[in-house]
Amino acid sequence: MKEYLFYLKLGLNHVLDFGAYDHILFLTALAIPFSFKAWKKVVLLATVFTITHCLSLMLSVYEIVGMDVSLIEFLIPVTIFLTAIFNILYHKMLQTHKTIALHVLATAFFGLIHGFGFSNYFKMLVSGEEEKVLPLIGFASGIEVSQILIVLLVLSLSFGLQTAVKVKPAHFIWGASILVLLITIPLLYQTFPL
């Protein structure tokens, strides 16, 4: 149980680390177009992200798949950028059931990329461990809890701005997505593989 709690805390800190805010930024971009009415869709997307993030970690830990770290470090902000662009271009369709399958597939693919981004560090943590499944489960639990917290925070902010300040949903989606883009552009520049 102590080992599980250690990795659960690690998963929480991995997502909620403001020094490595790419996870927070991606989840923010993912949740921006949704309201509390659509909370199930956002939790589904966050869960898919967790599962695929941990799948790529598992593939890396068991040395089934290896990835170029510099390419992955660049692709992470690309996933954030593309999610924000998708919000701006397709915000009306995101409210319907028509695009949820596409959104789930894209989120799953992006989760794989983000998982490979963390895999080297995680591999070092579990290198001396014979049993690697429990650390992965604990880590996944921590990621899921922290992601739901971030999603709830974004949905609350959206609700507050749209009800108290009377910001139209489309304006919130555009404004918040543009803010995410502006924060992401320097990340793209910093991580661009030369």
pLDDT in tens, the chain (194 residues): 888 999 999 889 888 888 878 889 999 999 999 888 888 888 899 899 989 998 998 999 888 998 998 999 999 999 999 999 988 887 666 555 566 788 889 999 999 999 998 888 888 888 878 888 898 899 889 988 998 999 999 999 999 999 999 999 899 999 999 999 999 999 999 999 87
Q: Which two tokens stand for residue 26?
A: 């991606």
Q: How many CA atoms lie within 13 A of 167 on its CB side?
A: 15
Cα 135 to Cα 132: distance, rounded to the nearest angstrom: 5
- Closest to 72 measured CA to CA, from 17, 111, 33: 111
Taking the C-alpha atoms of residue 18 and residue 4, their distance in angstroms, rounded to an integer, is: 23
Residue 68 CB-half CA count within 13 A: 7
Tokens of 97: 């059931």
